[in-house]
């Protein structure tokens, strides 16, 4: 075992199908590497369409039984899963550091975040309320009940290998659904460890399954199956569109958490210390590799120079290094492709007139490390203004008026998260309402938690995760109309 875990039962390399660990039917494996060192970590089962068919059949059977359990019964099992995740926090964090690369403090934070969805949805299992509707005809009684959607599939990303699973599987199981998870090829080990803990918590065989493998092949198989009634995906807008098209013939319900191009607006009246601190949090979490990371810093004229200087000074102090080093704040990027995109954005901006205030190059720590970077005098003509960088680069744009800031902020096909900093109370409402985004942070760069609805509009997708609204994604509404007249009267 290339990873040292206290609980060795968490190191799994087979698929988890119908309550048992199985190699892929055709025996294929795929290597998993540590992005900090390039070292081989594991060879993991590479499932294909036949494995998916087995998992779907098991899920159909398991869900038929699970849907009839009470919310209270589901709650107990989900809460137990939560407790086991928390009990094994260190090992799960080690798996994330090893296969994903984020610093250990962040990895441990992700496990707490992941566990919080299990606890939240354990409680929500008890609250799948319906409605009684006042009838239009006195001879009728109208009600609405909510029932589980059925068998669901989740295709999850590498940037949050644990939290994006529990944010989907938690509400699915709470609602009475079964869930088949297809984790990223780059980070399957955390997903498989979570499945082992679900097994230990008493999640019935077939209810939660994990199929590591090729995204294209498994995506096709899951989308094509009429037994899969819902698909939840977190990832790029490009892949989201493909999955939506592939889901059309079976008319699946969809939750799509896709790309972003988050603006971070700093008005002249902002508290500059608060804005700088929040900018670090909103930009450099996971080395800039989150969908809600600030991608464009729009700074008002009167504060621009001071913000640029203080921000760059703070960014320069962020320590680059492997996630396993407790002093590291910026870990590696996930792949050479990710690093190439970051480099291309910086080169393009500099070529068109931007100035590098700090960073702007790779780091001696290794080929996938990139120094945290701040660019000033960035303009809308540059690539970085329109594309999600997904890396540790903060471009500073300048604006003069509130209207100009809102127009610049909304000038993107994306609509996931936006942030703004002001101490003017009237402006708070004007700006929050004018921003075309699913989530808005005012005077904060950290908005994610289990009780709030996470999700976007426009090309950032559809549906909400977390919060009480997160349950709705896994429940169907059924309207029942009863005629209470006595036909013999
Ligand atoms: C994501 O990047 O997809 C999720 C980020 C979060 O939950 O804060």
Nearest atom in ligand 1 to the alpha carbon of residue 290 is 2
Query: Per the structure block, which two tokens stand in for 119?
Result: 């606890």
Tell me the mean pLDDT in the region 162-167.
Answer: 98
Per-residue pLDDT of 25-74, as tens digits, reads 999 999 999 999 999 999 999 999 999 999 999 999 999 999 999 999 99
Nearest alpha carbon to residue 179 among 216, 214, 157, 149: 149
Query: Per the structure block, which two tokens stand in for 334?
Result: 């996930």
Pocket test residue of 115, 448, 465 for ligand 1, highest count of atoms within 8 A of CB = 448
Please identify every residue annotated as catalytic.
257, 291
Q: Of all residues in the chain, what percent are helix, strand and coil, respectively (each to 5)?
A: 40, 25, 35
Nearest alpha carbon to residue 474 among 182, 226, 167, 220: 167
Per-residue pLDDT of 388-431, as tens digits, reads 999 999 999 999 999 999 999 999 999 999 999 999 999 999 99
CB 212 within 8 A of CB 456: no
Tell me the mean pLDDT in the region 125-153.
Answer: 98
Tell me the mean pLDDT in the region 317-338.
Answer: 97
Rounded Cα gap, residues 418 and 432, in angstroms: 9
Pocket test residue of 187, 262, 290 for ligand 1, highest count of atoms within 8 A of CB = 290
Length of the chain: 489
Rounded Cα gap, residues 52 and 217, in angstroms: 10
Rounded Cα gap, residues 251 and 411, in angstroms: 32
Q: Is the pLDDT of residue 343 over 80?
A: yes
3-state secondary structure at position 334: coil
Nearest atom in ligand 1 to the alpha carbon of residue 448 is 8
Per-residue pLDDT of 429-484, as tens digits, reads 999 999 999 999 999 999 999 999 999 999 999 999 999 999 999 999 999 999 99
Rounded Cα gap, residues 127 and 193, in angstroms: 29
Res 30: pLDDT: 98
DSSP letters, 271-311, are -HHHHHHHHHHHHHGGGG-STTSEEEEEEEHHHHHHHHHHH
Query: Per the structure block, which two tokens stand in for 146?
Result: 């909510």
* Ligand 1 cavity residues, CB under 6 Å: 159-160, 234, 257, 290-292, 448, 454
**Contacts with 378 (C-beta within 8 Å, 6 or more apart), sequence order:** 296, 349, 354, 384, 385, 395, 396, 397
Nearest atom in ligand 1 to the alpha carbon of residue 113 is 7
Share of the chain above pLDDT 90, in %: 99
DSSP letters, 444-477, are -S----TTS-B--EETTEE--BSTTHHHHTTEEE
Confidence of residue 2 (pLDDT cuts 50, 70, 90): confident
Nearest-CA residue for atom 6 of ligand 1 = 448
Nearest-CA residue for atom 8 of ligand 1 = 448
pTM for this one? 0.97
Cα 295 to averaged position of ligand 1 atoms, centre (Å): 14
Cα 387 to averaged position of ligand 1 atoms, centre (Å): 17
Per-residue pLDDT of 226-275, as tens digits, reads 999 999 999 999 999 999 999 999 999 999 999 999 999 999 999 999 99
Q: Is the pLDDT of residue 358 over 90?
A: yes
Q: Write down the mean pLDDT value for the chain.
A: 98
Res 185: pLDDT: 98
From the CB of residue 198, how many other CB atoms can be counted at a distance below 10 Å? 29
Rounded Cα gap, residues 361 and 148, in angstroms: 50
Per-residue pLDDT of 276-311, as tens digits, reads 999 999 999 999 999 999 999 999 999 999 999 999
Cα 159 to averaged position of ligand 1 atoms, centre (Å): 8
Res 1: pLDDT: 62
């Amino acid at each position: 075992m290339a990873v040292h875990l206290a609980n060795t039962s968490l190191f799994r390399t087979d698929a988890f199908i119908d309550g048992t660990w199985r190699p892929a039917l055709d025996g294929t494996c795929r290597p998993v590497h540590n992005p900090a060192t390039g070292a081989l970590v594991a060879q993991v089962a590479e499932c294909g369409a036949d494995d998916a068919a087995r998992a779907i059949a098991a899920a159909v059977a398991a869900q038929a039984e699970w849907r009839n359990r009470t919310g209270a019964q589901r709650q107990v099992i989900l809460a137990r899963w939560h407790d086991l995740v928390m009990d094994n926090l260190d090992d799960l964090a080690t798996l994330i550091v090893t296969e994903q690369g984020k610093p250990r403090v962040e990895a441990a934070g992700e496990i707490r975040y992941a566990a919080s969805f299990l606890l939240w949805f354990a409680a929500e299992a008890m609250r799948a309320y319906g409605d009684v509707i006042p009838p239009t005809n006195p001879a009728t009684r109208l009600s609405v009940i909510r029932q589980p959607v059925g068998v669901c599939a989740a295709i999850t990303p590498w940037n949050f290998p644990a939290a994006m699973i529990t944010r989907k599987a938690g509400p699915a199981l709470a609602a009475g659904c079964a869930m088949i998870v297809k984790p990223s090829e780059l980070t399957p080990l955390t997903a498989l460890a979570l499945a082992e803990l679900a097994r230990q918590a008493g999640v019935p065989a077939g209810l939660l399954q994990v199929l590591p493998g090729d995204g294209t092949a498994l995506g096709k198989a899951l989308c094509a199956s009429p037994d899969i009634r819902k698909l939840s995906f977190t990832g790029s807008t490009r892949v989201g569109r493909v999955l939506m098209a592939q889901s059309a013939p079976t008319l699946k319900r969809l939750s799509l958490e896709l790309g972003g191009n988050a603006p971070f607006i700093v008005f002249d009246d902002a508290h500059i210390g608060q804005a700088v601190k929040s900018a670090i949090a909103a930009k450099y979490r996971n080395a800039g590799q989150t969908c809600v990371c600030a991608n464009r810093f729009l700074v008002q004229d009167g504060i621009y120079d001071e913000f640029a200087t203080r921000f760059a000074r703070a960014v320069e102090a962020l320590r680059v290094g492997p996630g396993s080093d407790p002093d590291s704040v910026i870990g590696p990027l996930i792949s050479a492709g990710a690093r190439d995109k970051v480099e291309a954005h910086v080169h393009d901006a500099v070529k068109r007139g931007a100035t590098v205030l700090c960073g702007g190059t790779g780091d001696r720590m290794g080929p996938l490390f990139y120094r945290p970077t701040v660019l000033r005098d960035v303009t809308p003509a540059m690539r970085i203004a329109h594309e999600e960088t997904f890396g540790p680069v903060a471009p500073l744009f300048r604006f003069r008026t509130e209207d100009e800031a809102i127009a610049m902020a909304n000038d993107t096909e994306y609509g996931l998260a936006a942030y703004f900093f002001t101490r003017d109370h009237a402006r708070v409402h004007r700006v929050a309402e004018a921003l075309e985004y699913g989530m808005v942070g005012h005077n904060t760069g950290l908005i994610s938690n289990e009780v709030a609805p996470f999700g976007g509009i426009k090309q950032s997708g559809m549906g909400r995760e977390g919060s009480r609204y997160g349950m709705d994604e896994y429940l169907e509404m059924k309207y029942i109309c009863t005629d209470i007249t006595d036909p013999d009267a």
